[in-house]
Amino acid sequence: MIKVLFFAQLREQLQCAELSVAESDAQTLAQLHEYLTGQHPLWAEFLNNEKLLMAVNQTIVKVSQVLQSGDEVAFFPPVTGG
Amino acid sequence: MIKVLFFAQLREQLQCAELSVAESDAQTLAQLHEYLTGQHPLWAEFLNNEKLLMAVNQTIVKVSQVLQSGDEVAFFPPVTGG
Amino acid sequence: MISIQQNDFNVGDEYAALVANDTAAGAVVTFVGRVRDLNLAREVQGLQLEHYPGMTEKSLQEIVAQAQSRWKILRWRIIHRIGNLYLGDNIVFVGVSSAHREDAFHSAEFLMDYLKTRAPFWKKELTADGSVWLDSQEKDQQAMQRWE
Amino acid sequence: MISIQQNDFNVGDEYAALVANDTAAGAVVTFVGRVRDLNLAREVQGLQLEHYPGMTEKSLQEIVAQAQSRWKILRWRIIHRIGNLYLGDNIVFVGVSSAHREDAFHSAEFLMDYLKTRAPFWKKELTADGSVWLDSQEKDQQAMQRWE
């Protein structure tokens, strides 16, 4: 399984903080994205935001990133700490 | 009279912290310099140091500065505080 | 050391820890970020600070490693508060000690610029009109890009 | 406020004064310069700090006025110690508060660069081989010229 996390404004927009996806449905980050918007049409508007950042195992990566079972994936808006 | 001050290494080299000079002997900073080295030949070596800074009434000035009675003149090495 | 915490910090104590028994530290720079009353002309009453536990610490460690490869740093300290914070509260502390002031100033500023653009924290502002997620600012991206 | 004093200062107290009752201060930078054990490869035991009373305060006021014309500064504080100082002792404190971190970082660094090259203080180092007046350093002149 792949663990998927959403943070901040995105978490509120999707009304979801965390879910799991079978690795067969998400061999790359791009595929995971496609899978999520397919399963949740209402999420597409928010997940298609070009500014969103994606991390795999807590490192920011590109959408071409290959995924494997046990990965922790996170989607979140640009950061605003400090 | 013009009050003349020396600081730090220069004060130690000249073995003098403060002296007074009649304004007639020092109408400009350049004249004051000439007067001092004339009166104290042993000082020339130290007062001719190109790196020395000069202040009149606590503001750094150039050697062409005109002097008047009551002025406070200071000669000192480049600063090293902080 | 990196701390992500709800509790406040004490600048005097942090300064003391940065220099304790270290006579090589000729220069110490500290930065504190605080909740201020006006942000982009909105009247702010407070902030809610969310973070991504685990990734926060990891990204800050990477930022520190980058700073250490660029400047000679003796000791460093990063504290970032989370949860609900109010007007005038401390948000973030960055402290660096070094032999020379250039290293201390530049590494502290670098750490803040990177923290602002790379560490997964998000601020929700509480104003009289309700709460609103803060947008990232172009000027922070530009500040970060100076170092590249 | 500018203080030229023999006594030590307390960084925590100075930070508290910079932000007390000021919810506009989103960013506070402090710098502390200390007596360190190695300077230009000489083993330093202490320093004797001489200054030009009156001109010191005047030149620092002028430097602060310049900083205020370049950056938005809310509060500032400069303390410079004089007399005999020993390994690990604090020498100088510069603190600036501002709404934004760029103003706080840059004005604090500017104040230090100018203080180092324009304010009439002189250090005599005490080493095992005797005492020696410190030479001004080219890198300090260069640091100052960045701002011109």
Mutate to test the interface with A, among C80, C92, C122 (most CBs of A within 10 A): C122
- CB-CB neighbors (< 8 A) of A77 in chain C: 122, 133, 136
Alpha-helical segments (H) within chain B: 8-14, 29-39, 44-47
Q: At how many degrees (to 10) do helices C11-19 and D11-19 cross?
A: 150
Rounded mean pLDDT, B9-35 = 97
* Digit-coded pLDDT (tens) for C45-86: 899 999 999 999 999 999 999 999 999 999 999 999 999 999
List of domains in chain C: 2-145 (3.90.1170.40)
Structural domain boundaries in chain A: 2-76
Whether C40 shows a pLDDT value over 70: the answer reads no
Strand B72-76 to strand D121-127: parallel, antiparallel, or no bridges (unpaired)?
unpaired
D65 interaction partners in chain B (CB closer than 8 Å):
none
Q: Which fold has domain B2-76?
A: Ubiquitin-like (UB roll) (3.10.20)
Residue D63 confidence (pLDDT): 96
D8-14 mean pLDDT: 98
Tell me which chain C residues have a C-beta less than 8 angstroms from the C-beta of A75. Answer: none
pLDDT, one tens digit per residue, over D85-140 is 999 999 999 999 999 999 999 999 999 999 999 999 999 999 888 999 998 888 89
Mean pLDDT of C117-127: 94
Q: How large is the ipTM? A: 0.94
pTM of the entire structure? 0.95
Confidence of residue D60 (pLDDT cuts 50, 70, 90): very high
Mean pLDDT (chain B) is 96
Instruction: Quote helix, strand, coil % in chain A, to nearest 5.
Output: 35, 25, 40
**Is there a contact between A80 and C135 if contact means CB atoms under 8 Å apart?**
yes
Q: Residue C112: which of A74, A78, A82 has the nearest Cβ?
A: A82
SS3 call for D26: coil
Q: What gap in Å lies between CA C5 and CA C83, rounded to an integer?
A: 8
Joined tokens for residue B82: 């902080």
Interchain pair A74, C52: CB under 8 A? yes
pLDDT at A18: 98
